[in-house]
Every structure is written in structure tokens, then in C-alpha cells.
Structure 1
Amino acid sequence: MSYIVSTKCGRYKEGFDFSAERVTRSIDESLERLQLDYIVTETIPALVKLKEAGKAKFTYVLDRVPPGTVDVILSYCHYGVNDSTLEDLIPYLKSKASVELKAACQDAAAYCKEKGKNISKLSLQYSLSNKDISILVGMNSVTQVDENVELQ
């Protein structure tokens, strides 16, 4: 059995702090607590230095990398009843997907619909079929949760 361990940085009991100094200290504290040599994470430019030092892996920063480099963006508590600031970023985030990628996705969805197949179901089944890869699945209803649980 294998595990992928991730940690966060930037938010602390005393508030948010994304300075290079605090991010670096946070990663070092996490590594010590977890008794690991490196972690999987994502944050600000300080992580690039940590990656080069071998303390972090798989770091990406949206505006500081070539288009198409970022794998995923996770937002912490920025879309809910008390905070909907993520909604303001949606046009910006959509603009980061290439025209070719958008067209390929639309073509794939149309093809699946034409064949009577659910592209979401096919995609999740494909992702789950490789036991060497971990996935994070977004769901926005109890029905989607139930459907996805049935796929496993």
C-alpha cells in the first residue's frame, strides 16, 4: 500500500501569511511533524525554492508557469454562504484553459451523449481504474455522491 501525503500552508491560527519566510518555515514544520523528507503541496513562489531543495514536489503557481502547466487549483473556504470570492475568479480561471482543450472537451461530451454514455461516469471510472493515481472528485449534490460511490 502507498500513500500520498499533502499539507497546507498559508493559513495559521494567527491568520493568513503567504510570505516566503512563513511558507518555508511551515513546510519545514510539517516535514518534521510528519517525519518525511518531502510533501506534495501547492502555494506561492517560495515553494519553487523548496522544490529545488528537494523538500517539496509537484509545485505549481498559475501565473508563474507556462500555460497548461497547472494541474489543479484547490481553494480553501472561498465558495460558501459566508465567502463567495472564488466566484469572482471563475472568468480568470476559465481563460487559462486553451481553446483547443475546450474544443476537445466539448467534442468528447457531444460524442458520449450521441452514444448514450455519461462522460462524467466514463471519466471517473477511467481515473479510478489506475490504482497508482489518486484523484479528487468534485460533487455538488447527494445524487452525484451516490452515483460516484456506486462506481467504485
Structure 2
Amino acid sequence: IEFADHNQILNETLPTLHRLKQKGLARFVGITGLPLRVFPSVLDKVGPSIVDTILSFCHYELNDDSLLGLIPYLTEKGVGVINASPTGMGLLTPQGAPAWHPASKAIIDGCRRAVEYCQKRGIDIVKPAIQFACSQPDIATTLVSTARSSNIRDNIAYAEEQVDESLLTELLDVLKPIHNFNFTRGRLEHRDLLLGPADQVNDSANS
């Protein structure tokens, strides 16, 4: 919803979806966005049960847990939370971020160091990334996408295995220099304020 006029969402989109829900043509209504600020922007202006869930991505993972700051608000609103992309759209994978990834060099380099840290220990970083994301009780669902069905089976196995707390602590320490550094997108009024190096903030402001 960061690419849309929120007046249109509030006055046209959500009322239409709510009518479909009342007719039994839809069970639940959810909104999705990368910038966290878009959720209160809409939820503050609608009544109960208009929005059932939000889908946030890249904000609850090993290097960024900023979604936690919004959890009490969402709980108060009675809105369920879906957390997507626990690997940061490829940042926390052996393959690394794809060329189109919007993250800054600082974030990409910091995540690469964490990947290499795991590789030296014979560990696929996806495993602690999945375990970290799935261990937060206030997040109802963790959504993972992949191009291979074998990855889905691996992810399920990772989620069911016991977490190596020592490794997790070490990984979070490796990622501490970029903790909650972020990237944003959408209409200017919907973008999050950036945390990160000055060049990242300046580049985004000029884009």
C-alpha cells in the first residue's frame, strides 16, 4: 500500500473489500507494505474488523527486528501479523542479495559477513534465519518463498529443530553493526525514515 493514495484505500478499496467480506465472498482482509509507517497510517483511520491482518516483510529477521516495535499497536488493534521474507529477500542466503535488491552496500556487506561466519562453521545461514523468525510468539505466521520445493522441506525441518542459542547469539553479534539498518520504497509520504550510513540516507532522499 506504499504505492497508493491512502485516501483511495480508505474510501474505496477497503469499503469494497469489507462488502465482499459481508457477502461471504472473502473471509479476511489484509494489507501489505514494506515501510512500517504505512500500517498505522491506515489502521488509525478504520474501525474494528475492517483490516484483519498485515503482511510485513524484511522487518523481522536476524539483521532487522524493527517490526517488534509495532507489535503492541497491532495487538491493541486486533490485527494479525504475517512476517514475510525472513532471509531479507536473499540477503541472508549463501547466494546473497540479487542484483535488484534495494538494500544499501552496508546492509549487503554486513549480511555477507554473517553468511560467511556460518559457512566457516558448516552451517547454512537460512537455518538460524528461519528459526529466529519462527520463534517470535507474537507473530502468527512466517511466510517464506522459494524457487525449489526442496527448500520448503528444509525450512520446515529447520523450524522444527532446536535452536542453537550460542550460534544465534554469535550471529546477532556479527550483525550488530547493521542492526535495523533499512531500506524503503513507495510514495514519498509513505516511506520510512532510513537508518544507516549517511550516504545511504542521502541516496534515498535523492531518489
Contact kept in structure 2, 1:127 and 1:135, CA below 8 Å: yes
Residue of structure 2 in register with 1:106 after alignment: 112
Contact kept in structure 1, 2:133 and 2:142, CA below 8 Å: yes
Measure, in 1, the Cα distance between the counterparts of 2:151 and 2:55: 30
Residue of structure 1 in register with 2:151 after alignment: 144
Residue of structure 2 in register with 1:40 after alignment: 31
SS of residue in 2 equivalent to 1:138: coil
Residue of structure 2 in register with 1:135 after alignment: 142
Which residues of 2 match residues 3-152 of structure 1 at below 5 A? 23-24=9-10, 25-34=12-21, 39-42=30-33, 50-51=42-43, 53-54=45-46, 91=99, 93-94=100-101, 96-133=102-139, 134-151=141-158, 152=160
In the superposition, the TM-score normalised over structure 1's length comes to: 0.50
Q: How many residues align?
A: 109
Which piece of structure 1 moves more, 47-56 or 141-150? 47-56
Q: Deviations over 1:88-136 (max 9, x none)?
A: xx75x42x21111111110000000001111001100111111222321
Residue of structure 2 in register with 1:5 after alignment: none
Measure, in 1, the Cα distance between the counterparts of 2:39 and 2:19: 17
Contact kept in structure 2, 1:51 and 1:59, CA below 8 Å: no
Residue of structure 1 in register with 2:74 after alignment: none
Alignment RMSD (CA, Å): 4.3
Identity of aligned residues (%): 17
Contact kept in structure 1, 2:84 and 2:143, CA below 8 Å: no
SS of residue in 1 equivalent to 2:138: coil
Q: Give the gaps of 5 or more residues in structure 2.
A: 23-28, 57-63, 68-82, 86-97, 161-207
Q: Deviations over 1:12-65 (max 9, x none)?
A: xxxxxx777764412122234446xx843349xx998645524669699xxxxx
SS of residue in 2 equivalent to 1:41: strand
Which piece of structure 1 moves more, 142-151 or 102-111? 142-151
Relative contact order (C-alpha < 8 Å, sep 6+): which is higher?
A: 2
Q: Tell me: CA distance 1:30–1:145, structure 2 relative to 1, closer, same or farther (3 Å).
A: same
In the superposition, the TM-score normalised over structure 2's length comes to: 0.39
Measure, in 2, the Cα distance between the counterparts of 1:141 and 1:121: 16
Contact kept in structure 2, 1:31 and 1:39, CA below 8 Å: no
